[in-house]
């Protein structure tokens, strides 16, 4: 999927598919690129998430920008919306979780973390990731935090899926960051838990920034 996305993105940025034009159909892309239809669909979804295309049922996918958006959209929320909200919700929630968590809360977080570390299916991992962050919010013993994370859950999953598909190292890094968060919550130190969650969110934001800037282009330039 990453290779197909890079190919289509390059053709849009080079003007092969200028703004306003319709991309080839899924069937044509499958034939020309020699990949499966699901791979093509994932690449097209990624282009739309990056703000480069727009899909219209029955008409196809159209180019709307020759560059990835600085602030791509995931579902009903932009990346900036998510970053700002998560900093003000998940960081303090982790702090409160450290001070207020129960034994059952820790068991749930550790169970989810262990399942994520073993999981090989990307879609299942993303679902577990959402449950993990919801579990932390609930462990804060403040139902408002849990409600907020539930509200943005679908957008977070869409963002996470894109990040993981375009960077195979992302899941491994996330698992390590998640373990640090759980360990900090278990220690009972609100300050440490907040710092661990803050670092995790900064890494997510940085990974998204790398995709928007297209690291593939940077690597090609360095050769």
Domain ranges of the chain: 2-69, 73-213
- pLDDT on residue 217: 47
Q: What is the average pLDDT across 128-132?
A: 94
Q: How far apart are CA 177 and CA 171, in angstroms?
A: 10
pLDDT band at 168 (very low <50, low <70, confident <90, very high): low
Higher pLDDT, 93 or 166: 93
Looking at the chain, how many residues does it have?
Answer: 223
Place of tokens 């669909």: 41
pLDDT of res. 186: 98
The dotted CATH code for 73-213 is 1.20.120.530
| pLDDT value of position 97 | 98
11-43 pLDDT, tens digit each: 998 999 999 999 999 999 999 999 999 889 888
Q: Taking all residues of the chain, what is their mean pLDDT, rounded to a whole number?
A: 88
CA distance 145 to 86: 10
Cβ atoms 61, 44 nearer than 8 A? yes
Q: Which of 16-20, 123-127, 131-135, 205-209 has the lowest mean pLDDT?
A: 205-209
CATH number of this structure's domain 2-69, picked from the four choices 3.10.580.10, 3.40.50.300, 1.20.1260.10, 1.10.10.10: 1.10.10.10
For the purposes of burial, counting CB atoms within 10 Å of the CB of 207, is it exposed (0-12), middle (13-18) or buried (19 or more)? Answer: buried
* pLDDT bracket for residue 214 (50, 70, 90): low
Return the pLDDT at 127. Answer: 92
What pLDDT score was predicted for residue 71? Answer: 79
Give the mean pLDDT of 186-196: 98
pLDDT at 161 over 90: no
**pLDDT tens for each residue of 60-111:** 999 998 887 777 888 788 888 999 999 999 999 999 999 999 999 999 999 9
Q: Where does the pLDDT of residue 206 fall: very low under 50, low under 70, confident under 90, or very high at 90 and above? A: confident
Instruction: Return phi, psi of residue 70, to 5°.
Output: -65, -25
Q: Which two tokens stand for residue 92?
A: 């303090």
pLDDT digits (tens, 9 = 90+) for 133-143: 999 999 999 99
Asked if residues 83 and 205 have their Cβ atoms less than 8 Å apart, the reply is yes
Q: CA of 157: how far to CAs of 3, 13, 86, 89, 152, in Å?
A: 22, 27, 13, 17, 9
Say whether pLDDT at 219 is over 50: no
- The reported pLDDT for the residue numbered 213 is 67
User: What sections of the chain are H helices per DSSP?
Assistant: 2-14, 26-33, 37-49, 79-100, 103-118, 122-139, 143-151, 153-166, 169-187, 190-213, 215-222
Query: What is the model's pLDDT at position 91?
Result: 98
pTM of the model: 0.77
**How high is the pLDDT of residue 218?**
46
């Amino acid at each position: 999927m990453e290779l197909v996305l890079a190919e289509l993105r390059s053709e849009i940025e080079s003007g092969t598919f200028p703004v306003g034009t319709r991309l080839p159909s899924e069937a044509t892309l499958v034939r020309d690129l020699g990949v499966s239809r699901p791979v093509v669909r994932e690449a097209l979804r990624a282009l739309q998430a990056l703000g480069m295309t727009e899909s219209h049922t029955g008409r196809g996918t159209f180019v709307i920008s020759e560059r990835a958006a600085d602030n791509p959209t995931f579902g009903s929320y932009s990346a900036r919306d998510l970053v700002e909200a998560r900093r003000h919700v998940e960081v303090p929630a982790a702090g409160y979780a450290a001070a207020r968590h129960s034994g059952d809360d820790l068991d749930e977080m550790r169970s989810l973390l262990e399942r994520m570390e073993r999981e090989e299916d990307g879609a299942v991992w993303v679902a577990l990731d959402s449950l993990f962050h919801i579990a932390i919010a609930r462990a804060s013993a403040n139902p408002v935090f849990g409600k907020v994370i539930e509200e943005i859950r679908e957008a977070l999953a869409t963002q996470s899926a894109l990040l993981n598909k375009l960077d195979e190292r992302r899941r491994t890094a996330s698992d390590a960051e998640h373990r640090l968060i759980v360990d900090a919550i278990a220690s009972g130190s609100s300050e440490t838990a907040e710092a661990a969650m803050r670092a995790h969110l900064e890494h997510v934001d940085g990974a998204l920034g790398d995709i928007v800037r297209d690291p593939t282009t940077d690597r090609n330039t360095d050769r």
